[in-house]
């Protein structure tokens, strides 16, 4: 804390001001926060688990054998450097044989099976019209830079990104022993620029209701006659009489023009790049160095990890389902699961109580909102079982083929299981993941690795627990009620349950919130994008408010006593702010402003607390304080 700061002027600095003086930023980190701290701890624990598993004489087909073979193939740098790019040669040969758009469609099927979205990805999703069934979905993709503006804008940051990215492509093709790597890089960039012109930005993707189309594969083929979609899906082994959901509909339609304008030779270079970039982490040292140079240029620094750490990260990323329950048993207090579930129930009950009192939402909509809260599912800590990888065949000398086998196993299974009922026991996050999110299927996942100090400890006082973890639970629950949540009912079914009057009322209120956050000047002449971050800002404010009310509802007399001179309410808000303590270098901060749906921590904290009446009462905030908002300007939706 920095008690020299007036909490009403900059509450974030007041609560976290001394953090940077005491925290040790790991070498190479361009940004660092408590989530990074926990991710480092989780990665170290996972590495130890992998080493233990790989050192056993495990029977063939066991998770121990699978994990061990994959890990050993990754740490054998001597063999990888000797092989260089040769593991990709069969796929490059297949690319060279492309002579027509039909051939291109077949190759796109191959890249889809190998986890490469070029220039779109085809996945299995839950059918929003019937959430207990699966359906195919197609999404935009195929860009190496994360935002289309990086290809198209002339601002200094975009110009810098383009230069770095083209150099990265050139360095990679040099490492792949291609002549004229600079010319190849420019041709690849030109293809991606064509795709960028039709790509939805992060801000546009937030309103996915406008971008959603459910149709048949046959109709998709009729809509876009210049590309043979039937050939693509046939090569995937998918019946072409199936339905499909198209996200970013205009992107898929506009790909017709890209197919017409890009030469077959340029498609070949582009596909070789997509393949090489996907598998670069499994190739020789020169490819890794090309990537490292790019990351350092992009963010200003790069972490200096060991071969073993990088190998463990790759194992965890692709077959982490073999490790999750082992991790949870070693590093998660099972009793905490029940405690956190009870806290979540308290917050859900507070939402229901509050929803029944709001005036801007129609009674019809409130009924669905309450039903969503009552039907809300919490997935806390860990699933009941690890995944079984016994059908995988691994080669301890070929990490590239091992990863291809993982993808082939996954894609073949999801396409075969399209007629199976949805597996509601399937988790999208693993116990060792430091993350949490709300699904439109009306559940929240919060894994064991997230439920560690400093985000949570059973030893914390109740006010601090609710200020940190309670506010996070409240944040995620709020997503069930926001503009995206309004497209799905309590069962996850696609249904617009807001009336037109509800939509207008929501827009009227949230436009004020957009203006509030857009007035935060972050760095140089760059301001926060209040529209891009809107949904997350709404969840921050309302999640904090519900967590505070829920705390007061359950706190007993001892919970409300002063500790170290701080009242329970003060401890609640301070704990909330401290959970967002973060460091960013200038490059990373500017990139975050362009790309992230979440505001930097300082603005998440200050933007939230200034909208809560309880904050004003707790810290005696006055009109003279910089965070002060008059009551009529404070925004609270739920």
Give the 3-state secondary structure of 501-561: HHHHHHHHHHHHHHHHHHCCEEECCEECCCCCCHHHHHHHHHHHHHHHHHHHHHCCCHHHC
d(CA 131, CA 487): 13
3-class state of residue 620 by DSSP: coil
Using an 8 Å Cβ cutoff, are 394 and 69 in contact? yes
Span 482-508, mean pLDDT? 95
pLDDT of residue 387: 83
Residue in the structure block whose two tokens are 């990890």: 305
**Stretch among 45-49, 180-184, 390-394, 545-549 having the lowest mean pLDDT:** 390-394
Angle at 278 between CA 277 and CA 280, to 5 degrees: 60
Question: Residue 224: pLDDT above 90?
Answer: no
Which neighbouring-strand residues pair with 127? 130
pLDDT level of residue 334 (50, 70, 90 thresholds) = confident
* pLDDT at residue 266, as a whole number: 98
Q: How many residues does the chain have?
A: 638
**Above pLDDT 90, what percent of the chain?**
86
Which of 56-60, 183-187, 496-500 is the least confident region?
A: 56-60
The pLDDT of residue 196 is above 80: yes
**Res 385 pLDDT > 90:** no
Q: How would you classify the pairing of strands 130-140 and 120-127? A: antiparallel
In what order do the strands lie in the sheet containing 377-381?
Answer: 377-381, 443-447, 437-439
What is the average per-residue pLDDT within 371-379?
Answer: 97
Query: Which of 325, 335, 427 is CA-nearest to residue 378?
Result: 427
How far is the C-alpha of 103 from the C-alpha of 409, rounded, in Å? 23
User: DSSP secondary-structure letter at 563?
Assistant: B
**Cross-strand bridge partners of residue 563:** 566
CA–CA dist 513, 541 (Å, integer)? 10
- Following DSSP, what letter does each residue of 193-253 receive, concatenated? HHHHTTPPPHHHHT-GGGG-EEEEHHHHHHHSTTS-HHHHHHHTT--TTSEEEESSHHHHH
Distance (Å, whole) CA 571 – CA 562: 9
Distance (Å, rounded) from C-alpha 69 to C-alpha 402?
9
**Inter-helix orientation angle 534-554/334-355, to 10°:** 100
Question: What value does the mean pLDDT of the chain take?
Answer: 94
Spatial neighbors of 159 by CB under 8 A, at least 6 apart, are none
Q: Of the candidates 27, 34, 143, which has an alpha carbon nearest to the alpha carbon of residue 580?
A: 34
Instruction: Please state, in angstroms and rounded to a whole number, the distance separating the CA atoms of residues 130 and 142.
Output: 29
pLDDT, tens digit (0-9, with 9 covering 90-100), for 444-467? 999 999 999 999 999 999 999 999
- Over the stretch 71-85, which tens digit does the pLDDT of each residue have? 999 999 999 999 999
Most confident residue range from 292-306, 401-415, 538-552: 538-552
What pLDDT is stored for residue 209 in this prediction? Answer: 66
Residue 612 has pLDDT above 80, yes or no: yes
E strands of 237-343, at which residues?
Answer: 243-246
Give the DSSP letter string of 127-147.
ETTEEEEEEEEEEE---SSSS
| β partners of residue 378 | 444
Question: Residue 55: pLDDT above 90?
Answer: no
Lowest mean pLDDT among 117-121, 179-183, 210-214, 439-443: 210-214
Give percent of the chain above pLDDT 70.
Answer: 99
Q: Is the Cα torsion angle 22, 24, 30, 35 positive or negative in sign?
A: negative
> 42-46, 391-395, 423-427: which has the highest mean pLDDT?
42-46
- Please tell me the distance from the alpha carbon of residue 281 to that of residue 289, in angstroms, as a whole number: 10
* Six token digits for residue 350: 């507070």
The span from the first CA to the last CA of the chain, in angstroms, equals: 31
How does pLDDT run across 577-605, given as a tens digit for each residue? Answer: 999 999 999 999 999 999 999 999 999 99
Pick the range with the lowest mean pLDDT from 270-284, 368-382, 385-399, 597-611: 385-399
- The domains of the chain are located at 11-43+323-633, 85-283
Backbone dihedral angles phi then psi of residue 31, each to the nearest 5 degrees: -150, 155
What pLDDT is stored for residue 208 in this prediction?
65
- Which pLDDT value is given to residue 540? 98
CATH of region 11-43+323-633: 3.40.390.10
Gap between the Cα atoms of 12 and 601, Å rounded? 8
Fold of 85-283: Neutral endopeptidase; domain 2 (1.10.1380)
The pTM is what? 0.91
Nearest C-alpha neighbor of 192 from the set 258, 287, 249, 253: 258
Average pLDDT over residues 351-363: 96
| Mean pLDDT, residues 365-375 | 98
């Amino acid at each position: 804390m920095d008690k020299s700061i007036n909490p009403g002027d900059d509450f974030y600095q007041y609560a976290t001001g001394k953090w940077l003086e005491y925290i040790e930023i790991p070498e190479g980190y361009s940004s660092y926060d408590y989530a990074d701290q926990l991710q480092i701890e989780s990665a170290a624990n996972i590495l130890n688990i992998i080493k233990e598993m790989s050192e056993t004489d495990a029977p063939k087909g066991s998770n121990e054998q699978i994990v061990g073979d994959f890990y050993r193939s990754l740490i054998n740098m001597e063999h990888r450097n000797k092989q260089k790019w040769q593991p990709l040669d069969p796929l490059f040969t297949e690319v060279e044989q492309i002579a027509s758009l039909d051939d291109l469609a077949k190759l796109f099927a191959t890249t889809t099976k190998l986890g490469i979205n070029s220039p779109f990805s085809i996945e299995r999703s839950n059918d929003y019209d019937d959430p207990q069934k699966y359906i195919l979905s197609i999404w935009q993709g195929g860009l190496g830079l994360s935002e289309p503006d990086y290809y198209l804008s002339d601002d200094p940051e975009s110009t810098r990104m383009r230069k770095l990215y083209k150099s990265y492509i050139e360095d990679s093709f040099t490492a792949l022993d291609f002549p004229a790597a600079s010319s190849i890089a420019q041709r690849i960039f030109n293809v991606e620029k064509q795709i960028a012109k039709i790509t939805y930005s992060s801000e546009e993707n937030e309103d996915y209701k406008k971008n959603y189309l459910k149709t048949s594969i046959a109709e998709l083929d009729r809509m876009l006659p210049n590309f043979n979609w039937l050939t693509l899906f046939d090569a995937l082994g998918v019946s072409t009489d199936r339905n499909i959901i198209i996200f970013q509909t205009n992107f898929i339609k506009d790909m017709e023009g890209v197919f017409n304008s890009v030469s077959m030779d340029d498609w070949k270079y582009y596909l070789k790049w997509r393949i090489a970039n996907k598998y670069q982490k499994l190739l020789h040292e020169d490819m890794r160095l090309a990537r490292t140079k790019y990351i350092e240029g992009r963010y200003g620094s790069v972490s200096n990890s060991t071969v073993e750490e990088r190998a463990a990260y790759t194992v965890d990323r692709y077959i982490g389902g073999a490790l999750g329950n082992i991790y949870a048993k070693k590093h998660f207090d099972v009793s905490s699961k029940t405690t956190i579930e009870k806290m979540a129930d308290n917050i859900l009950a507070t939402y229901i109580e509050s929803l029944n009192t709001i005036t801007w939402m129609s009674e019809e909509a409130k009924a669905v909102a309450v039903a969503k809260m009552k039907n809300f599912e919490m997935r806390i800590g860990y699933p009941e079982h690890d995944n079984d990888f016994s059908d995988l065949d691994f080669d301890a000398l070929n990490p590239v083929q091992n990863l291809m086998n993982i993808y082939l196993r996954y894609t073949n299974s999801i396409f075969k299981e399209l007629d199976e009922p949805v597996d509601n026991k399937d988790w999208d996050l693993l116990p060792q993941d430091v993350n949490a999110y709300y699904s439109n299927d009306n559940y929240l996942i919060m894994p064991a690795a997230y439920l560690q100090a400093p985000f949570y400890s059973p030893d914390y006082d109740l006010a601090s627990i609710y200020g940190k973890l309670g506010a996070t639970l409240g944040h995620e629950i709020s997503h069930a009620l926001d503009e995206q949540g309004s497209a799905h009912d309590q069962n996850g079914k696609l249904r617009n349950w807001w009336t037109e009057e509800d939509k207008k009322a929501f827009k009227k209120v949230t436009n004020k919130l957009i203006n509030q956050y857009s007035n935060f000047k972050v760095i140089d002449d760059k301001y926060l994008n209040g529209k891009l971050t809107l949904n997350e800002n709404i969840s921050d404010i309302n999640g904090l408010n519900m967590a505070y009310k829920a705390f007061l509802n359950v706190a007993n007399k001892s919970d409300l006593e002063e500790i170290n001179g701080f009242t329970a309410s003060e401890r609640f808000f301070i704990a909330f702010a401290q959970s967002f303590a973060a460091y960013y270098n200038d490059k990373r901060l500017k990139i975050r402003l362009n790309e992230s749906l979440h505001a930097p921590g300082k603005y998440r904290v200050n933007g939230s607390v200034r909208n809560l009446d309880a904050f004003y009462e707790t810290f005696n905030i006055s009109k003279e304080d910089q965070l002060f908002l008059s009551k009529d300007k404070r925004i609270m939706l739920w």
